[in-house]
Amino acid sequence: MASLNVLLLPEPGSGHLMSLIEAGKRLLAGHGQEFTVTVLVVRPPTPESASEVDAHVRRVAASGVGVRFHHLPPMDPPTECAGNLQEFKSRYLELHKPHVEAAARELQAAALVVDFFATTVLDVARALGVPAYVYFTSTAALLALTLRLPALDQAVDVDFEAFEGTVDVPGLPPVPARSIPGFLGRKNSPNFRWFVYHGRRFMDFDGIIINTVTEIEPGLLAGIADGRCVPGRPAPALYPIGPVLDLGAVKGDASSNNEPCVRWLDAQPRASVVFLCFGSLGWSDAAKAREVATGLERSGHRFLWALRGPPVAGSRHPTDADLDELLPEGFLERTKGRGMVWPTWAPQKAVLAHPAVGGFVTHCGWNSTLESLWHGVPLAPWPLYAEQHLNAFELVSAVGVAVAMEVDRERNNFVEAAELERAVRSLMGGCEEGSRAREKAAEMKAACRKAVEEGGSSRVALETLRDAIREDASATKTTTA
């Protein structure tokens, strides 16, 4: 029997690409005879992201996991949407529709799985009679909000950024408008309009595969499935298959474990170190770094701080930190022995896996959050970009795994030294708020591990997804026979 070829269409940013490839690996695991997974690679629009994506594709192709790659012909990126990233990503993927259609025909697709910025590609699947699924790299909270967006667009006259009230998202406590992602701030912005479009289109897909765990976001997933986000219409099938992480790397590969910062952790007491790291795009200027340094010094706690410097012109990626430029004078000497500043990309997975780490000050990227919960490490949220303010709100007020920290969104997400000191003490110091977050994080660790075992919620969701693809394929065969 020919195998069922499932085509994946990731957004070319490496975060989304890696997550979708990892999901493809899950789909294949133990089913390599029955399924083929082919990633349709969209050429990234900048040389910097192109070399990142090329390196990742080469690594996966060489790893022998069985995921195949099919490079789509290069397209000129859309013009006139500078600064509107969500619009740019959506329009760039839309331009690839004819190439996706040609690839789907050539590769005899049994199903198409597309990034959430690529909902326009549903037309291709419908034209070919192939089932289509969205892959959602983020939370059920962002998914629920996006599904609610067409109705909110009608019901709320003011821009979220000027709104002082709260937004109703089924399964969450009332969401303060200041926690709504910045790209949804202005109703007339192309970014907002594209998210309204995507929210509407999600409802037409055969299913939504989401990188979350039922036990982390039960109320939100139930709210979506029960039709409370879009009353009057049946919701598409939901497949929470998370945490979709490279679990091999989470255990800590040999090279990560040999990094000096991980060796330094070996000498620290259990659960004594607070780790600070701000994702692939987070960086500090001297003013921000001074607040962090002062806050950490005054907290009295042990710390490992991944500190990055500003990107060079034309790049969004942080540079290695110049510690002489960024840190207050004498800071390293005064904190010697109890703290380490790591000025480059950190081996985050190995750090979070280390028993010496007892808390994580994070930008709340969803991958970082899942990595932390996989190891039962409680969080202090310092959101910066994308959907992270919503993630921070959810982690404190719904999931309960984080202590609150005041981040001034009006001042470029500034945190005062005294506020960081308070939050670190709370996270690490055994006060009630911190202890509750720690207990809840331990509960989530157990739930995540159970979810990916035989019979666990994510394993069952994955098998239900395979069944749906099998059934669709045999129905198509029956009708075309």
Active-site residue numbers? 16, 115
Stretch that binds ligand LQRPP26V, among 145-153, 235-243, 284-292, 385-393 (CB under 6 A): 385-393
**Subset of residues 55 to 114 that bind ligand LQRPP26V, contact rule: CB under 6 A:** 85-86
CB 382 within 8 A of CB 413: yes
CB 42 within 8 A of CB 72: yes
Strand residues in 241-283 grouped as ranges (E)? 273-277
| Residue corresponding to tokens 């780790």 | 275
CB of 92 to ligand LQRPP26V, least distance (A): 11
Cβ proximity to ligand LQRPP26V: between 14 and 476 the closer is 14
Q: What is the DSSP letter of 1?
A: -
Q: Say how far residue 231 (Cα) sits from the centre of its chain.
A: 27
Among 6, 10, 13, 423, binds ligand LQRPP26V (CB under 6 A): 13
Question: Which option in ligand UDP, ligand LQRPP26V, none does residue 16 bind, with CB closer than 5 to 8 A by kind?
Answer: ligand LQRPP26V
Stretch that binds ligand LQRPP26V, among 14-22, 92-100, 253-261, 397-405 (CB under 6 A): 14-22
Question: Does the protein bind ligand LQRPP26V through residue 280 (CB under 6 A)?
Answer: yes
Residue nearest to ligand LQRPP26V (CB): 13
Query: How far is 402 from 436, CA to CA, in rounded Å?
Result: 9
CA triple 5-213-35, angle to 5 deg: 15
CB of 400 to ligand LQRPP26V, least distance (A): 19
Residue nearest to ligand UDP (CB): 365
Query: How far is 41 from 91, CA to CA, in rounded Å?
Result: 16
Stretch that binds ligand LQRPP26V, among 338-346, 365-373, 412-420, 473-481 (CB under 6 A): 365-373
Cβ proximity to ligand UDP: between 56 and 436 the closer is 56
Cβ proximity to ligand LQRPP26V: between 183 and 305 the closer is 183
Closest CA to 52 of 290, 286, 298, 315: 315
Stretch that binds ligand LQRPP26V, among 168-176, 318-326, 381-389, 432-440 (CB under 6 A): 381-389
Question: Does the protein bind ligand LQRPP26V through residue 366 (CB under 6 A)?
Answer: yes
127, amino acid identity: A
CB of 15 to ligand UDP, least distance (A): 4
Question: Does the protein bind ligand LQRPP26V through residue 183 (CB under 6 A)?
Answer: yes
CB 112 within 8 A of CB 133: yes
CB 163 within 8 A of CB 111: no
* Rg, C-alpha atoms of the chain: 22
Query: How far is 271 from 255, CA to CA, in rounded Å?
Result: 23
Closest CA to 14 of 33, 34, 35, 42: 42
What residues line the site for ligand LQRPP26V (CB under 6 A)? 13-16, 19, 49, 85-86, 137-138, 183, 280-281, 365-367, 386-388
